[in-house]
Amino acid sequence: MIDLLNALVALLNYVVIPATAYGAQLALGALGVTLVFGILRFSNFAHADVMAFGTMVVIGVTALFQSWGISFGILPTALLALPFGCLATIALVLGTDRVVYRFYRRVKAAPVMLMIVSIGVAFVMNGVVRMFVGTEDRTFSDGARFLISARDFKAATGLDEALSLKTTQAVTVVTAVIVVAALFWFLNRTRTGKSMRAYSDNEDLALLSGINPEHVVRVTWVIVAILATVAGTLYGLDKSFKPFTYFQILLPMFAAAIVGGFGSPLGAIVGGFTIAYAEILFTYAFKKVAGYVLPEALQPDGLAQLLSTDYKFAVSFAILVIVLLFRPNGLFGGKSA
Amino acid sequence: MSFLCATRMRGGYGGADILQGCDITVEKGEIAVIVGPNGAGKSTAMKAVFGMMSLREGSVVFDGEDITKLSPQDRVAKGMGFVPQTNNIFGTMSVEENLEMGGFLRRDDISVTIEQIYDLFPILREKRAQAAGELSGGQRQQVAVGRALMTQPKLLLLDEPTAGVSPIVMDELFDRIIEVARSGVSILMVEQNARQALEIADKGYVLVQGGNAYTDTGAALLANPEVRRTFLGG
């Protein structure tokens, strides 16, 4: 019985908690990608760098707040800096749209062309971010490090296995729930939100109904900027901030959006958690858990790990390929990618 | 002057002209039907009336105002409603949301109009919360017509409203269209089911090669032996 509990705690600690936090971050990122695809009808490869830009601003404002002695109690100061990061990012994406994307919209460029344009935008943004903040790893979380620390948990329960819950993990999940709830309320209950869905659903009919496409596009960019900044900041708080890592999570974000069905917000969330759990389950060494639940004779010799953690991107890539082969419209039947 | 007066319309989608000086007029509260063989320019004539195609020659006068140069959106604001033949609903949105989007331009209370549309199409009230894309073909057409009626148009343009629905549903749709016309909305419709459409038409236009071949009341066209032999299959 104790063994089972130990196994359960180990699973919670090493799989469920990290995967849920990572899944929430991916889901927020994938929501941004899927909204751009649904409304502007192209795959935005610059999304990860928009996230990096937003996070960079948040880091800057956080440092400023810290130098002024402002803090947020046990919560990270970065949460206070988040609105400023969002504003800066909104300005960035609206400016980019005005200078770059609007031209291609006017000439009715093919989605593939817009996708390539977004890769160019990604390179520029990436360069800007590295110029300002540098390329090295940065940690910017402060406040209490743990809500439940391993030592306290062991002392309280008397189990061999420890469970720890980082503040940033709890903050990630709570923030993601709030942001997603606000987004769905906006899309389903407000006039502007409904007009965005209508435009995404049937562009011609939306135009006939008098919906102003430029307004829809602007609102979309504002939402995407907020989602990207929140996702980037949460990811940076939970792990660390390094511009290049952000470019790398583009793949799992796209995989999440496509698994759920490109253009479907609900799908992006389900996809985010699917990818996160898959990545972590495939790269987790189950030896410890097996040690608790299996009898001596059946103990695995190795780590019982399917893939080395270095290969975690291969997991999202494999899922992406499988989904595209067998269910190209994704789980929630979005537009085909 | 008629309520809608499209005269000497000439134009096409670049290249050769499809409309060769075609005339369409519709009176207030009247049902006008455009019929004719495939490729005669029926849908094109309607698109020209709605401004989805720019005319090289000719003019469109609506309610006493020359609207030849206006965009489709501006014509909606002037009191035209258009139901395209395909992709005429927001499939992922609920029936009620479809109607709300139809009334997007209106700043006044649209709930009264929504109720009127539910009275006209009772099945839509029943399915108000369901995604429009999940409905049957006939019900989707009702959503499409309902969406266009949300702006309270004075002229409703219907591009083959009965395409792909069963004969029973077709009869029901025509009944509803008559009801809409009785409420004072003029209707201009393009139809493949020429015989049934002419039966409910106050006025019929037979187009051939982008021009008016016959124009008369619906009943007279049905009785015309020439029209029967060439277009209605005997």
Residue from A34, A205, A335 whose CB has the most chain B CBs within 10 Å, to mutate:
A205
* Burial (CB count <10 Å: 0-12, 13-18, 19+), residue B109: exposed
Q: What is the mean pLDDT of residues A51-71?
A: 95
Do residues A319 and A275 lie in contact, with contact meaning Cβ atoms separated by under 8 Å?
Answer: yes
Under DSSP, the state recorded for B51 is T
Phi/psi at B132 (nearest 5 deg)? -60, -30
Q: What does the alpha-carbon distance between residue A153 and residue A151 come to, in Å, rounded to a whole number?
A: 5
B206 in contact with A, Cβ within 8 Å: no
Match 């583009």 to its residue by tokens.
A250
Amino acid identity of B68? T
Do residues A246 and A128 lie in contact, with contact meaning Cβ atoms separated by under 8 Å?
Answer: no
Do residues A291 and A299 lie in contact, with contact meaning Cβ atoms separated by under 8 Å?
Answer: yes
| Cα B91-B99-B169 angle, rounded to 5 deg | 70
The alpha carbon of residue B220 is apart from the nearest alpha carbon of chain A, in Å, by 35
Banded pLDDT at A47 (limits 50, 70, 90): very high
Residue from B71, B76, B88, B90 whose CB has the most chain A CBs within 10 Å, to mutate:
B90
CB contact under 8 A, B72 and A201: no
Residue from A188, A200, A201 whose CB has the most chain B CBs within 10 Å, to mutate:
A201
Bridge-based pairing state of the strands B57-62 and B31-35: unpaired
Q: What is the mean pLDDT of residues A311-320?
A: 91
Q: What does the alpha-carbon distance between residue A69 and residue A26 come to, in Å, rounded to a whole number?
A: 32
Banded pLDDT at A67 (limits 50, 70, 90): very high
Banded pLDDT at A329 (limits 50, 70, 90): confident
Do residues A255 and A268 lie in contact, with contact meaning Cβ atoms separated by under 8 Å?
Answer: no
Do residues B123 and B173 lie in contact, with contact meaning Cβ atoms separated by under 8 Å?
Answer: no
In this predicted structure, what is the pLDDT of residue B182?
A: 92
In this predicted structure, what is the pLDDT of residue B234?
A: 60
Count of CB atoms situated within 10 Å of the CB of B65? 10
H or E stretch at B58:
strand B57-62
CA A65 to chain centre: 25
All domains in chain B, ordered by first residue: 1-79+188-234 (3.40.50.300)
Residues of A in contact with B87 (CB under 8 A): 202, 204-205
In this predicted structure, what is the pLDDT of residue A96?
A: 97
Match 């002209």 to its residue by tokens.
B17
A198 in contact with B, Cβ within 8 Å: yes
Q: What is the mean pLDDT of residues B23-32?
A: 94
H or E stretch at A117:
helix A111-133
3-state SS, residue A103: helix
3-state SS, residue A46: coil
A214 in contact with B, Cβ within 8 Å: no
Residue of chain B whose Cα is closest to the Cα of A335: B92
Of B87, B91, B102, the CB nearest to A209: B102
Q: What is the mean pLDDT of residues A87-114?
A: 96
Say how many Å lie between the first and final Cα of chain A, rounded: 48
Q: pTM value?
A: 0.90
Better-scored residue on pLDDT, B53 or B130: B130
Residues 6+ apart with CB under 8 A from A58: A78, A81, A82, A84, A85, A140, A229, A232, A233, A236
Phi/psi at B209 (nearest 5 deg)? 50, 45
Q: Which two tokens stand for residue B228?
A: 């029967």
B211 in contact with A, Cβ within 8 Å: no
Of A191, A197, A204, the CB nearest to B93: A197
Residues 6+ apart with CB under 8 A from A105: A40, A217
Do residues A330 and A261 lie in contact, with contact meaning Cβ atoms separated by under 8 Å?
Answer: yes
Residue of chain A whose Cα is closest to the Cα of B80: A208
Do residues A258 and A337 lie in contact, with contact meaning Cβ atoms separated by under 8 Å?
Answer: yes
Q: What is the mean pLDDT of residues A175-189?
A: 96
Q: Which two tokens stand for residue B183?
A: 């409420």
In this predicted structure, what is the pLDDT of residue A1?
A: 76
Q: Which two tokens stand for residue B211?
A: 């021009």
Nearest alpha carbon to residue A97 among A121, A127, A124, A123:
A121
Q: What does the alpha-carbon distance between residue A31 and residue A229 come to, in Å, rounded to a whole number?
A: 12
Match 């369409």 to its residue by tokens.
B24
Phi/psi at B170 (nearest 5 deg)? -60, -50
Banded pLDDT at A288 (limits 50, 70, 90): confident
Instruction: Region of A302 please: left (phi>0), alpha (psi -120 to 50) or beta.
Output: beta
Of B90, B105, B151, the CB nearest to A205: B90
Residues B121-176 pLDDT 10s: 999 999 999 999 999 999 999 999 999 999 999 999 999 999 888 889 999 999 99
Say how many Å lie between the first and final Cα of chain B, rounded: 35
Residues B71-130 pLDDT 10s: 998 999 999 999 999 999 999 999 999 999 999 988 899 999 999 999 999 999 999 999
Do residues B96 and B128 lie in contact, with contact meaning Cβ atoms separated by under 8 Å?
Answer: yes
Residues A236-246 pLDDT 10s: 999 999 988 89
The alpha carbon of residue A180 is apart from the nearest alpha carbon of chain B, in Å, by 19
Of A201, A204, A208, the CB nearest to B76: A208
Match 């469970």 to its residue by tokens.
A163
ipTM: 0.89
Do residues A51 and A229 lie in contact, with contact meaning Cβ atoms separated by under 8 Å?
Answer: yes
What is chain B's mean pLDDT, rounded? 92
Q: What does the alpha-carbon distance between residue B147 and residue B101 come to, in Å, rounded to a whole number?
A: 7
Residues 6+ apart with CB under 8 A from B109: none
- b/e burial code for range B75-102 (CB count within 10 A of at least 16 → b): bbebbbbbbbbeebbbbbbbbbbbbbbb
All domains in chain A, ordered by first residue: 2-326 (1.10.3470)
3-state SS, residue B18: coil
Residues 6+ apart with CB under 8 A from A128: A53
Banded pLDDT at A337 (limits 50, 70, 90): very low
Banded pLDDT at A294 (limits 50, 70, 90): confident
Under DSSP, the state recorded for A250 is H
Bridge-partner residues for A225, per DSSP? none
Match 């006008």 to its residue by tokens.
B32
Q: What does the alpha-carbon distance between residue A191 and residue A194 come to, in Å, rounded to a whole number?
A: 5
Residues A32-42 pLDDT 10s: 999 999 999 99
Residues A261-281 pLDDT 10s: 988 999 999 999 999 999 999
- Kindly write down the DSSP assignment for every residue of A131-199, as one continuous string: HHH-SS-B----S-SEEE-HHHHHHHH--SS---EEHHHHHHHHHHHHHHHHHHHHHHHSHHHHHHHHH
| Cα A108-A109-A113 angle, rounded to 5 deg | 165
Reply yes or no on whether the pLDDT at A91 is more than 80.
Answer: yes
